[in-house]
Structure 1
Amino acid sequence: MVATFMPLILSPVVYFLGKRKGINITTWLTFGTLAISTVLVIIPCIGLGSGGSYQEVFDWSQLGHFGLKLDGLSIPFAITIYLLSTIIVIYSKPYMIRKILLQYEQLKSSSNLEMNDAESELYSNKDGKSFSSLVLSTDQKSYLNSQLGLYYSLYLVFAMGMLGTVLATNLFEFYVFFELMLVPSFFLIAFFGYGNKKRTSLMFFFWAHVGAVILLLGLMAMGFLTGGFDYDTVRANASQIPQAWIAVIVAALIIGFGVKLAAFLVHVWLPDTYTDAPTPISVLISSAMTGIGAYGLIRIWIELLSGPGNYTDYSIYITIWGVATMIYGGAMALMQKDIKRVLAYSSISSMGYLLFGIGSESVLGLSGAIFMYVTHALGKGLLFMMAGSVILQTGTRNMDKLGGLGGKMPYTAVFAMIGGLTIIGVPITSGFMSEWVLFNGALQDAVVNWSAVKAVSFALAITTTILTSAYILWMYKRIFYGITPETLKNVRDSSKYVLVTMGILASLTLVLGLYPDLFYKPIIGYVESLYPDSDVLIPVKITPGTGQVNDEPTNTTQASNVAFSGGTDYPRTYPLAKSQVDHPTTF
């Protein structure tokens, strides 16, 4: 509870202290608030093991109980959201200082110039000077303090909304937090964005709100037809929902969460939003917020409405939708010349991977999709931070005006390569472990069901990884290799604020690549518990040495052992749902 609401409570304090005391206290108070909250989220996760959960429940109203729950699904999402939010606070400081000072110059000159390519010399850092060397007037300092205080206060509310969404245990509570993500992100784009930021923020708000309203209709129907809005109540009474209503509810959930995921055909809001948002906010929207749509599909659709008629009948369409999203996003990314626009379409493609895993109907496929959220956050976060670093130092994000920066910005180049390899899925990054498990599960599902459609979908999806490699490496080459333009001869690497934060994310993706069980143990324990008495999500088991499919009921733990060990003999077991230990705290 404290971890969830402390950022919200302290957000006005950050704003007023920022106006009066300056940028340093604003930055470090925001960082401290989120750092403490992150630790408070991690502490209950320690010792839960596979299948465990921690829950706080409070009496609320006729709508049910207000609860916050950490389990195998919410743990990777919650830790990723708050860890990224904490790190990006530090990254934001040099970036937003220069962005706000540029806005001040535009206002002072009554200029209507929309900064699509960071034209201002003030924004560029080609001389290698830090902000501390700039001499600011009293008016500049006042404007900077006020705007940075506003930025960080909205930032805290944004982070709180994302965390609350993935911890909620009540449909109405979920929707409240879901909307709380939308409002501060809208203002962050409208106040601090680029280009035609007002149009972009309104388009973002319109699409997100329409998706949320459609989602609300589905959530209300679920609550009324099951006799309550608490997750436990909905899950226990899901069988009472008339079959005619199931299709309507599932459609509402898929559309609502599909818009949040920016899946193919409902992705219109994403490219401009990612491009025109300030880069630190692009990092959070891309790495943390967008993937919450996948969380919603798993938690509210698959978990609460689980059953052959509620999930299995639709999974093939989710698989096809995921593959289409992967291909479209990758193909469009390959055609862009704006760094942030490449990464925007790359994010669409990455969300396709999550949809593809969700549609796989296997323990490993679903587990890989959940872990893919974490690896996408780390890899795409690094790449967006690279884009911000390049903008800070060169004054442009147009790749036609860049080149040869590998020798000028070596640390940024190394961290960007680690981020790119994570998105591609190269060992020893975390991206490899998520893709390996996801595709393993998808292939097993196609073999078990002898589905030609899923087999073709798998082939197309695995081929899309080549497209992913193409646009990532092409972007990297255009930025860091080749001849350095004469105007960029004096460019230097970014400040320690940028490089240290990028280094942390790069380290995390390598650590998770070597030790994926840090997240996989709780994830697989959760996924196995979704269907403890059914073989719907149980992958095929090949009897060693025979090449024959074992027709006997397959233990999901054994199947997981085969996937993770690569055929070796050492055991890696995960407890099943029947050994799950819950640790509720009721108030």
Structure 2
Amino acid sequence: MQHYPILSIVVLFLGAFLTVIFGSKNDAVRKFIATISSGISLVLVLLLIKPIMIEGNVINYWLGNWRPVHDWAIGIGLEVDALGLFFGIIVVLTVFLSTLFSYSYIKKDVEKDKYYVLFQMLAGSVLGLVFTGDLFNMFVMIEIMTFAAVGLTAFRNYQEGALEAALKYLVLGSIGSSLVLAGTITIYSQVHTLNMAQISALLFNNLTPSALFAFALLLAGFSLKAFVVPFHPAAPDAYMAAPSSISMAFSGMVNKAGVYAILRLVYVLFHSMDLKSMQMLLIVIGTITMFVGVTMALAQNDFKRLLAFHSISQIGYVITGIGLSTALGLTGGLYHALNHTLFKGLLFLSAGAVFFATGTTDLNKLGGLAKKMPQTAAIFLIGAFSISGLPPFNGFVSKWLIYQATYQANMAIVTIIALLVSVMTLASFIKVAQSVFFGQMPEEFKDVKEVPLSMRIPMWIMAILCIITGIMPQFVTKYLINPAVSAVLNIGNYIDTMMGSGYAQKIIGEPVQIPQVDYTLAGYWNPIAWLVLFGLLLIAVALVALAGGFNHQSIPVEEDNPKYDVFFSGEANEFSHVKGNDLFWGLKHDLRHYFGFMHDAHSGVINDYALWAIFTTSIFIIYIFLLVP
């Protein structure tokens, strides 16, 4: 069984290799290879649930059998604990369902063999990242992941904006990779090892200036991979330009790779989450990310771009939960990471189904599709209710845990912002539902049909999982979330499994305490109270939206070249089933200065976005040097 992790990674890379050799000319062969490789990887990872999640074991594997010599790691090792397996399950589930969806979705595209090659390389690199126990190997996987993602973003290069989106991803992704590499080199210069378990032991109470500098670089690099604000500008363009099956993968597993790396970094490598300053940094980043993402989504008139900003927003919930550094916060954050993969993947597939049937995702051109695509409409509504945090869907469970955790941590302002973001999320999906599936159907779509069964099957699987994880939270928490939370906190076990029993105590000089994890939910408010507050905030947002009036001069107007008009592209269109240009005019009027600033900030210029990344990295360095002892 110790070979399962490496085999689950190798089979995906092998699938890419075999597709080049045997699948370049035959569509059936490449579909077969992709299905077999992703299916085998899924089975191998699921077989690890019993020994790791249930029995509490940690599996390690040394490539070439290069085990530590004289208590020193000299080879590349894989280490799969409950946290790594949790994210591994997310990866392989996303890969398998996306593969099924791709059968019919990309049948009209050319060079489909390139699609499957790049997709399997992307999948193998992300799974390798979450299973590796070597910091430099993590960087290698990040590089493969980045270049595969760039190629997939540009896959439909005949579409307007695809090449530009790929270039943005390439530039910003390269900056993130460079930061990770620089941080890795700096760490190595101090501890002379790349094994993460050994690094964790050697850095315990040993945060020298070079270690702090490396910490800041790594945190910035991984934050860019997670697409948190302000490292997010490449994400909306990439999510929109890529095929929806790939947008699902970006949202479901690529940004989760960044989240996983942040967790390993702040909890395991640098032991920093007992510091209030580090907790506050992550909470502030998470809160800003969730708010900025949802407000950016409110102003979009393209289905996929709106989903892209919501994906950014939902990652903010995850980072906030992680930053609380409590068992309840980690439980909510990891539960929401799982839920985000399910409901956001489902919504991207719904957008892909709409595009497949109509050829557009422009909200102003759609309408009434529920009559022609009832299953897609039902699936979309499940995803919309889930992401909005409505019971009995899964988003409610994880958001409720985060509400409770922030309230319990005496951060009521964060609780209110999280609730407000959920309200605005629901409001924006009301707009999408009305503009795409209800209202008047344009004459050009009168012959639209439901998408093929091969596309509906993965959509229904994800929809059912959104319901199951919403109505059976005790089961999900017991067998998936709780073991992952314990793995985050049980640093001594992570070190000793890789380096040998007793190594952690030998290096650190004292027993590494295993925290007592209490999963009792905060008892301040019950779910009904949260729903009442949610309803009150919904009414408040509605009143604000209506009170502002209709004033075309209150916010920036559409520019001559709309490709840089991130927020308001499409607002000048005369026809809209949803009256989307009217629905949020009051809100936009009241927040016109904020929207104006965000409109100007998102210039579409790569140099500006690169400057954001470098500037924020500098802030991280200063903050960590000043506030982390």
TM-score for the superposition, normalised by structure 2: 0.74
Secondary structure of 1:19's aligned partner: coil
Render the CA deviation track for 1:109-168: whole Å, top value 9, x for unaligned.
Answer: xxxxxxxxxxxxxxxxxxxxxxxxxxxxxxxxxxxxxx1122111111111001001111
2:41 paired with 1:77: no
Give the aligned partner of residue 54 of structure 1.
59
What aligned pairs does 1:100-115 form with structure 2 within 5 A after superposition?
Answer: 100=110
Find 1:97's aligned residue among 85, 89, 107. Answer: 107
Is 1:50–1:525's contact at 8 Å kept on the other side of the alignment? no
Measure the CA separation in 1 of the matches of 2:55 and 2:218: 28
1:207 counterpart = 2:185:
no
Contact 2:18 2:33 in 1 (8 A): no
The equivalent residue for 1:30 is: 34
- 1:561 is the counterpart of 2:520: yes
Aligned to 2:76: 66
1:239 partner SS = coil
Counterpart of 1:286?
Answer: 251
One-letter code aligned to 1:345? F
Q: Which residue of 2 aligns with 1:399?
A: 363
**1:147-166 alignment to 2 at 5 Å?**
147-166=111-130
Q: Do structure 1's residue 379 and structure 2's residue 343 form an aligned pair? A: yes
Change in Cα spacing, 1:19 to 1:250, as seen in structure 2 (3 Å) is: closer
Matched residue, 2:22: 17
> Map of 1:427-466 to 2, 5 A cutoff?
427-446=391-410, 454-466=411-423
Residue number in structure 1 paired with 2:141: 177
Q: Deviations over 1:222-268 (max 9, x none)?
A: 33323421121011111363443343233212211111121112211
The alpha-carbon deviation at position 186 of structure 1 amounts to: 1.3
Letter in structure 1 aligned against 2:473: P
Give the 5 Å matches for 1:141-152: 147-152=111-116
SS in 1 for 2:215: helix
Separation of aligned partners in 2, 1:207 and 1:227: 29
* 2:43 counterpart residue number: 39
1:426 matches 2:390: yes
Of 177-186 and 429-438, deviating more is: 429-438
Q: Which stretch of structure 1 is more off in the superposition, 425-434 or 288-297?
A: 425-434
Q: CA deviation at 1:60?
A: 4.7
1:527 — aligned with what?
A: 485
Name the CA distance, whole Å, in 1 between partners of 2:484 and 2:21: 43
> Which ranges of structure 2 fall in alignment gaps of 5 or more residues?
1-5, 493-513, 528-629
1:304 to 269, 288, 292: 269
- In the alignment, is the contact (CA less than 8 A) between 2:16 and 2:116 conserved in 1? yes
Aligned length: 493
Contact (CA 8 Å) 1:319, 1:355: kept in 2 or not? Answer: yes
Q: Given that residues 372 and 435 in structure 1 are in contact (C-alpha distance below 8 angstroms), is that contact kept between their aligned partners in structure 2?
A: yes
Contact kept, 8 Å, 2:286 with 2:315, in 1: the verdict is yes
Q: Point out the more displaced range, 427-436 or 321-330.
A: 427-436
Deviates more, 1:190-199 or 1:333-342: 190-199
**Alpha carbons of 1:188 and 1:432: their partners in 2 closer, same or farther (altered >3 Å)?**
same
Partner of 2:187: 222
Question: Any idea what SS the aligned residue of 1:191 has?
Answer: coil
Flag the 1:415–1:243 CA change in 2: closer, same or farther, 3 A.
same
- Partner of 2:193, secondary structure, is coil
Shift of 1:18: 2.1
Identity rate, percent? 27
User: 3-state DSSP class of the match of 2:299?
Assistant: coil
Q: Is contact 1:171-1:223 (8 Å) kept?
A: no
Distance 1:281 1:187, change over 3 A: same
Q: 1:252 to 1:378 in 2, by over 3 A?
A: same
Query: Matched residue of 1:69: which SS?
Result: strand
Instruction: State the distance in 1 between where 2:123 and 2:181 align.
Output: 22
Distance 1:210 1:436 in 2: 36
**Residue aligning to 2:532:** none
Task: State the Cα deviation string for residues 161-203 of structure 1 (Å, max 9, x = none).
Answer: 0100111111111111121111111112223343232222111
CA contact (8 A) 1:188 1:281 kept: yes
Deviates more, 1:428-437 or 1:498-507: 428-437
Equivalent residue for 2:9?
A: 4
For residues 512 and 67 of structure 1, do their structure 2 counterparts lie closer, same or farther at Cα, with a shift above 3 Å needed?
Answer: farther
Task: Find the residue that maps to 2:60 and give its secondary structure.
Answer: strand
Flag the 1:294–1:50 CA change in 2: closer, same or farther, 3 A.
farther
Partner SS, residue 286 of structure 1: helix
Displacement of 1:276 after TM fit?
0.9
Q: Which amino acid aligns with 1:461?
A: A
How far, CA to CA, are the matches of 2:431 and 2:224 in structure 1? 29
**Of the two structures, which has the highest relative contact order with CA contacts closer than 8 Å and spacing of 6 or more?**
1
Shift of 1:350: 1.0
Q: Tell me what 1:515 maps to.
A: 472
Q: Cα–Cα, structure 1 residues 401 and 27, in superposed 2: closer, same or farther, change >3 Å?
A: same
Retained in 2: the 8 A contact 1:361–1:445?
Answer: no
In 2, the alpha carbon distance for the partners of 1:249 and 1:358 equals 21
In 2, Cα distance between the equivalents of 1:397 and 1:533?
A: 46
Structure 1 contact 17–149 (Cα < 8 Å) conserved: no
* CA distance 1:347–1:531, shift in 2 (3 Å): closer
Distance 2:524 2:79 in 1: 31
RMSD over aligned Cα atoms: 2.5
| Shift, 1:70, TM fit | 2.6
Deviating 4+ runs (over 4 angstroms): 60-63, 529-534, 554-557, 563-568
2:429 alignment partner, one of 457, 472, 480: 472
1:295-374 aligned at under 5 Å gives the runs 295-307=260-272, 311-374=275-338
Residue aligning to 1:495: 452
Q: Structure 1 residues 307, 381: CA separation in 2 closer, same or farther (over 3 Å shift)?
A: closer
Which residue of structure 2 lines up, in the alignment, with residue 543 of structure 1?
none
What amino acid is aligned across from residue 167 of structure 1 in structure 2? F
Cα 1:312–1:64, aligned 2, differ >3 Å: closer, same or farther?
farther
Cα distance in structure 2, aligned partners of 1:179 and 1:438: 33
Amino acid of the structure 2 residue aligned with 1:363:
A
